[in-house]
Structure 1
Amino acid sequence: MGTLSHMSTEPPAWLQQARAHWQHRGSQRPPFADEPGPNQESVWDYPRPPAVVPDGRSIEVTHGERLIARSTTSVRVLETSHPPAFYVPPDAVVPGCLVLTNGSSHCEWKGAAEYLAIEGTVEPVAWRYPTPYPEFSDHAGWVSFYPGRVDCTVNDEPVRPQAGGFYGGWITDDVVGPFKGEPGTSGW
């Protein structure tokens, strides 16, 4: 894929094409979506492109008995069909716990991601966008974690991982799906 200049106001054609393939944009909940109950959100009401929403709940990430990150200052990225991904500021991560590891990916609205492993291992447990597109630039370097690879809590509620292996959404009792990543959802 090409590169995107952070000075440009118009995304390049390849990026516009990737964004044009989004089928669901949060403007209308599809008939197969679960109905949210009191104090719940439907991921089908989230917008695309995603919204970045400040969140003041207590976030804790551990691996076994080891604390990896703790914060009461996070943002949730809310994207149609996905459970939220929580991102914490870099200073919420315990110094020396995470190191860069192999792998990269590209989000058509956040940019190029790099992956992080627990020091002494190579399996990615987290990711960040060091030089994101303008839409996410206020959160450059903020870190999100895979709840299936480390233990994550939101206000002491254990987080369940989003299906599919690649995705890093945080499923808690306050969100309903169905969620992208489950069988038969590749076209969402």
Structure 2
Amino acid sequence: MRDGKIVASAQSIVRMFPEIRNINPGKNGMLQRAQRTLAVALVRADGGIDLDPTWRGKTPEQRAKNVAWAVSALERLRADRKNDPSVDTDLGEALAKVSGRKEEARGLLQGLADRDLMATPQGYAALGRLQHEAGNEAARDAAVKRCSTMAKDSSICDVPTSQGGQS
């Protein structure tokens, strides 16, 4: 996953844990990590990963179902790992993909940014997009700048500008 191999990461997890969609990991660290990795992969692919017959991502409905599962998995993990900035960052990134939960995502991610606790450049990129949608150009630019300092690949940090281009 760290090398940007999102689909390969997701495929590995589904091969190792074919029932992962329905597993409650409880306190099992390995299952929690597997669900978290799969959730983040699905979010970063906008739900558009075809893994096996139970994980399809071709239609908008299938992609939305995959992202909804990812949010649910990350919310369960957050309940077990309160005040964990890396889990909060992943959850904020996921919530940013869900219509009706973008303000919640923006609040969560901005809180992490304000305390300098954002765990990933993707979290800053999601915050930048959310701030752009909210019309807050200064906050958008600050998030993009922080993203750029963290990212190995600056394309992660592409966020629309007010003129309709990418920054």
Q: TM-score, normalised by structure 2?
A: 0.27
Higher helix share: 2
Asked which structure has the greater RCO (Cα within 8 Å, sep 6+), the reply is 1
Which one has a bigger Cα radius of gyration?
A: 1
